[in-house]
Amino acid sequence: MARTKAQLPAGARLADYLTVGYLALRCPLGKVREILSQQGVESQRRRGLPHEVLVYFVLAMVLYANVAYEDVLQLVLEGLRPLLGDAKLTQNTVSKGAISQARARVGVGPLQSLYQEQVRPHGPAGMAGVWYQGLRLMAIDGSTLDMPDEAANAEYFGYPASARGSTAFPRLRFVAMAECGTHTLCYAQPGPYHSSERELARSVLAHADATMLITADRGFYSYDLWQEAQATGAKLLFRLSRSLRLPREEELPDGSYLSTVYSNAEDRKHRRNGIQVRVI
């Protein structure tokens, strides 16, 4: 979906070019080209709009959400010129149509791969909220995002219901694992609006490991999901619904107690396949 014409406030500033340079520092040009090659969408020729430039353009669009495509592209080209080593790139005039066509050729695969490789928990030891008792604090949560009102988005993501039919824009639902100290959203899994957050959380929790303490709200708990999350080695701290049966089996000195959760009533009756939990 093309944007309305807007310009950078007071023109591009040195800080804007430095922002593009920082993107290239955090997401190196060599890594971008490697991913494009792995996906089979590397640029076959250097004329026009190289695909590695397009990747940084998509990243920059997030930072300059209210600026027209052409202005964002020129900013990216200027910022990358020292790395690209091709001054002629900044002299090209690229239309919105050409940008859209190039994005279609590249597709979503390279950006997904870059996100999974580059966006990881990174908070250092000693930073507030990052570590507790030697474990990295992470939180599972979900949210939604409005998508451009286009046929493909409407068909895949769907619309939320409202009192007068449906909303104006298709909406994406996602679940991610957030690093509590830095608020970095890692391992995000998107899906249609009517997706279950619990189901989306399965692929997110697959990235957990024994260095983490993972918190989640009560909507994420299920016996199966808890079992899968435990298998990663991570420590878990979930809120639970009051309707879940948690009999006091062993009192602990701090006021918490041990209990056992089961997959179903039949397993509970025969006390089989239970998972011991500590209730706080």
- Asked if 274 and 261 touch (Cβ cutoff 8 Å), the reply is yes
Give the separation between CA 274 and CA 16, rounded to whole angstroms: 56
- Rounded Cα distance between 234 and 132, Å, is 13
Contact 117, 31 (CB under 8 A): yes
Q: Is pLDDT at 207 greater than 80 in this prediction?
A: yes
> Quick one: pLDDT at residue 23?
87
What are the structure tokens assigned to 172, written together?
Answer: 């994406």
Q: What is the pLDDT of residue 262?
A: 96
In the chain, what percentage of residues exceed pLDDT 70? 90
Q: Classify 254 as helix, strand or coil.
A: coil
Torsion of CA 33, 37, 42, 45, to 10 degrees: 90
- The pLDDT score that the predictor gives to residue 25 is 87
79-88, 98-107, 158-167, 223-232, range with the lowest pLDDT:
79-88
User: Residue 123 gets which letter from DSSP?
Assistant: P
Is the pLDDT at 63 greater than 60, yes or no? yes
Q: Say what percent of the chain tops pLDDT 90.
A: 60
Per-residue pLDDT of 218-256, as tens digits, reads 999 999 999 999 999 999 999 999 889 999 999 999 999
Q: Tell me the per-residue pLDDT of 25-37, one tens digit each, with 9 for 90 and over.
A: 888 989 999 999 9
The residue among 120 and 84 whose pLDDT is bigger is: 120
State the SS3 of the chain. Answer: CCCCCCCCCCCCCHHHHHHHHHHHHHCCHHHHHHHHHHHCCCCCCCCCCCHHHHHHHHHHHHHCCCCCHHHHHHHHHHHHHHHHCCHHHHHCCCCHHHHHHHHHHHCCHHHHHHHHHHCCCCCCCCCCCCEECCEEEEEEEEEEEECCCCHHHHHHHCCCEECCEECCCCEEEEEEEEECCCCEEEEEEEEECCCCHHHHHHHHHCCCCCCEEEEECHHHCCHHHHHHHHHCCCEEEECCCCCCCCCCCEECCCCCEEEEECCCHHHHHHCCCCEEEEEC
pLDDT at 164: 75
- SS3 string, 35-52, reads HHHHHCCCCCCCCCCCHH
Please report the domains of the chain, with CATH numbers, ordered by start residue: 14-117 (no CATH), 122-244 (3.30.420)
Q: CB of 105 within 8 A of CB of 51? A: yes
More confidently predicted of 30 and 83: 30
Q: Using pLDDT thresholds of 50, 70 and 90, give the confidence band for residue 194.
A: very high
Residue 12 has pLDDT above 90, yes or no: no
For residue range 91-135, list pLDDT tens digits in order.
556 777 778 888 888 889 999 999 999 999 999 988 999 999 999
What's the pLDDT at 92?
Answer: 56
Mean of per-residue pLDDT scores for the chain: 88
